[in-house]
Structure 1
Amino acid sequence: MSNTRKIVTIFGTRPEAIKLFPLLHVLEADPRFDSRVLVSGQHRGMLDQVLEIAGITPHHDLDVMHPDQTLDALTARLLTGIGAVLDLEQPDWVVVQGDTATAMCGALAAYYRKLPVCHVEAGLRSGDVYHPWPEEVNRKVIGSFAALHAAPTETSADALRRENVDPAIVHVTGNTVIDALHWITARVAAEPGLVSGLSEVEARFAGKRIIGVTSHRRENFGVGMRNIANAIKRLAAREDVALIFPVHLNPNVRAIMNEELAALDNVALLEPLDYPHFARLLDICTLVLTDSGGVQEEAPALGKPVLVMRETTERPEGVEAGTAKLVGTDEDTIVREVERLLDDDAAYAAMAKAHNPFGDGKSAARIADLLAR
């Protein structure tokens, strides 16, 4: 009888792919495992870019996205589609990452079959079920029955223990996003052509301090997005600054940003960047303005301060360490906090030199060892 463990890893979005490809590389190379990959296609083009650069070929692809589908329609398609694949594969473990609909439905489908679930990046909590929405509830659902919790930090492990999760199944592994960033940075250094798509905008903004911007959170749609656009407009009036903004495909983001910012000389609105180009943007910018979760972990690894355009964060470690600061979506607050970092060298240095609490680049190997036990 074989001792090889069959692992089905389930994901569907670009951030999940980035955080799971280091683990997939480790599982693929390790004779203790038979690794199978199931993607939902929850982000289609952006997911495929990461799969290509990381050399991951899925064994199953559900391709679930339909235009304007509701969360409950998406959930139904995910749950039944993933369930059918699990019935076919009969794995020893199911691995999910983070807090997407794909992760929650993958874990739930596994639970319905009494298959053990490993939750990568477990224990993140904002304490508010509507911020981030629906992610906070998705990860609480997974956390209520996962058999192995790979917590990125001691803070996230503590959150799980406070929810009465058995301490024996909670392990601090670091965050695989740092493994991924180390891998892609080395790859870009060896193959500079991978990031040639930013050459034109880099030349255009030579001599200016670059602010990298990302924004896509559902809870910021509407007034929040309009405030963010207005803040960017005011910052772009500075001669010494340029803003590079890869604009999310969601029409709730695109319509406002194109309307407000497209005509500004100091703002480059780009199509969403693939992973190598995004790593390059983090590398060349002075600071990052974002409402993303993953960027709060990635930017500090490159010594870049992060201003988080959200009211709460499930990554308080960055705020506590000084690498990140919550600024919300109030226009005046965003402008004031960005200008403080631009104009006060001591304030900038304090954030840029703070210790990154999210990992050492060896998280995937730790998780694989836990799965092998």
Structure 2
Amino acid sequence: MSLPEVHLAGGTCAEAIRLVPVAAAMRAQGLLAPVLLAGGADPTDVSRTYISLGLASDETLSAGADLATAVGRYDKLWAARTPAAVLVSGDNLAAALAAYWRRIPVLHMDAGRRSGTPMADGVDADRRLLAQVTTVHLTAAPLTAMNLLDESVVAGDVLLTGGTAVDAARMMTARLRAAGTPRPHRVLLVGVDDAHDKPVREAMLDLAARYHDLDVIGAKVSTPDRARLVAAADLVLADDFDLAEEALAAGVPVLVPGDGRGLTEALHAGSARQVDPTTHALVTEISALLDSRLRRDSMSANGSPYGDGLAAGRIAQATAALLGHGQFPDPMPARPQAGVAS
């Protein structure tokens, strides 16, 4: 008897990074047949991201940059190959809508994330719409779970699993060690929005002149190599949540230019730190961390508040339970606060 198929819909490289550990966990548990989908605006890059973490896509959709086209691509696939459930990550509204209209249960990883800023009203509106078509909401942190409860999502449909960026970081680290990949020069990975472009650019030129062994790498655009770059980084400067989460998962300290509102948990934990988005402040803060391994390690020691490395197993178990195979997992244990014994 064949196992129920669960389609894991990756529409960006960031989503693909987070889906691979779940596919691996499903295969290990042996209750479901995971099918990795490569979709979105650049399915080839999504496929390459899967490969960088050791798995290959099972279905590659034609590129669909706009929502209507992407929905149509998923709908066409599921008309011919209907899964028992669909798992989406992040902001993949197209896959969630297509599944919902075909009455396929939707599980949403990283559910409940809200920016809370006026500039992101459109993004948050899409995320709230995604919540309306989701069957099981899989959240990365307590705050995101509370966001859903505040929006009147039924508590029994919300499960705190943690995020799978930590799981993916461990997979990438193991692959790099197995391959014997040599460590490059010191690496500063940068991913910031357009509002901070000028001071960041000036700060990077200053730093490049000061540190001749420093590779400054832009990660503003998601690429299949990003997981490898994050694993090799000494420090990350980012106001992009996905990149910051991946860095924290890999044990890399993060500096956040601006208000850092989307990274509240990491700022409270101390694994990320805010910095004024001015050239002087950026150079001063980055230099202080590059010059002191102790300062970097003290930030990294706080870990990631968005996962514990066991999220993929919980998500695989929750998906199986939704389809009638076993029990739902216990939620991710609460992270002890600093100074409080666990």
Note whether the superposition's TM-score is higher than 0.5: yes
Q: Do structure 1's residue 109 and structure 2's residue 98 form an aligned pair?
A: yes
Deviations 1:200-236 (A, max 9, x none): xx3xx4xxxx351222x6xx23x52222111212233
**2:116 corresponds to:** 127
Please give the alpha-carbon distance, in whole angstroms, between the structure 2 residues aligned to 1:188 and 1:8.
28
**1:74 corresponds to:** 66
**1:307 corresponds to:** 255
**1:43 corresponds to:** 42
Distance 1:90 1:44, change over 3 A: closer
Deviations 1:129-158 (A, max 9, x none): 534x76433322212331101111112111
Please give the alpha-carbon distance, in whole angstroms, between the structure 2 residues aligned to 1:302 and 1:9.
23
Distance 1:57 1:354, change over 3 A: closer
Distance 1:327 1:87, change over 3 A: farther
Question: Which of 189, 196, 201 is 1:224 aligned to?
Answer: 196
The amino acid that maps onto 2:238 is T
Q: Is the 8 Å Cα contact of residues 306 and 323 (structure 1) preserved in structure 2?
A: yes
Q: Is the 8 Å Cα contact of residues 204 and 216 (structure 2) preserved in structure 1?
A: no
**2:243 corresponds to:** 295
Q: Is the 8 Å Cα contact of residues 212 and 281 (structure 1) preserved in structure 2?
A: no
Q: Is the 8 Å Cα contact of residues 130 and 136 (structure 1) preserved in structure 2?
A: no
The amino acid that maps onto 1:82 is Y
Please give the alpha-carbon distance, in whole angstroms, between the structure 2 residues aligned to 1:289 and 1:89.
42
The amino acid that maps onto 2:133 is F
How far apart are residue 32 of structure 1 and its match? 2.0
Question: What pairs up with 1:20-169 in 2 under 5 angstroms?
Answer: 20-64=19-63, 74-99=66-91, 103-128=92-117, 130-131=119-120, 135-169=123-157
Range with greater deviation from structure 2 (41-50 or 23-32): 41-50
Range with greater deviation from structure 2 (292-301 or 10-19): 292-301
How many pairs are equivalent? Answer: 321
The amino acid that maps onto 1:233 is L
Equivalent pairs: percent with the same residue? 27
**1:367 corresponds to:** 315
Distance 1:110 1:317, change over 3 A: same
Deviations 1:165-197 (A, max 9, x none): 1110111111111111111111211211xx45x
Please give the alpha-carbon distance, in whole angstroms, between the structure 1 residues aligned to 2:259 and 2:236.
17
Please give the alpha-carbon distance, in whole angstroms, between the structure 1 residues aligned to 2:256 and 2:76.
39
TM-score by length of 2: 0.83
Q: Do structure 1's residue 212 and structure 2's residue 212 form an aligned pair?
A: no
Q: Do structure 1's residue 325 and structure 2's residue 273 form an aligned pair?
A: yes
How far apart are residue 115 of structure 1 and its match? 2.0
Distance 1:279 1:167, change over 3 A: same
RMSD of equivalent CA atoms: 2.8
Unaligned runs of 5+ in 1: 66-72, 251-271
**2:225 corresponds to:** 274
The amino acid that maps onto 1:35 is P
Q: Is the 8 Å Cα contact of residues 7 and 92 (structure 1) preserved in structure 2?
A: yes
Please give the alpha-carbon distance, in whole angstroms, between the structure 1 residues aligned to 2:265 and 2:211.
34
The amino acid that maps onto 2:253 is P
TM-score by length of 1: 0.76
The amino acid that maps onto 1:107 is A
Please give the alpha-carbon distance, in whole angstroms, between the structure 1 residues aligned to 2:178 and 2:56.
23
Distance 1:105 1:44, change over 3 A: closer
Deviations 1:67-106 (A, max 9, x none): xxxxxx611210111111122222221110012xxx1111
**1:68 corresponds to:** none
Range with greater deviation from structure 2 (340-349 or 122-131): 340-349
Please give the alpha-carbon distance, in whole angstroms, between the structure 2 residues aligned to 1:362 and 1:184.
15
SS at structure 2 position matched to 1:314: helix
The amino acid that maps onto 2:275 is V
Please give the alpha-carbon distance, in whole angstroms, between the structure 1 residues aligned to 2:224 and 2:210.
25
Q: Is the 8 Å Cα contact of residues 7 and 83 (structure 2) preserved in structure 1?
A: yes
Please give the alpha-carbon distance, in whole angstroms, between the structure 1 residues aligned to 2:300 and 2:220.
26
Please give the alpha-carbon distance, in whole angstroms, between the structure 2 residues aligned to 1:188 and 1:349.
21
How far apart are residue 342 of structure 1 and its match? 4.5
Q: Is the 8 Å Cα contact of residues 64 and 74 (structure 1) preserved in structure 2?
A: no
Q: Is the 8 Å Cα contact of residues 43 and 62 (structure 2) preserved in structure 1?
A: yes
SS at structure 1 position matched to 2:210: coil
How far apart are residue 275 of structure 1 and its match? 4.9
Please give the alpha-carbon distance, in whole angstroms, between the structure 2 residues aligned to 1:173 and 1:233.
41
The amino acid that maps onto 2:11 is G
Q: Is the 8 Å Cα contact of residues 42 and 63 (structure 2) preserved in structure 1?
A: no
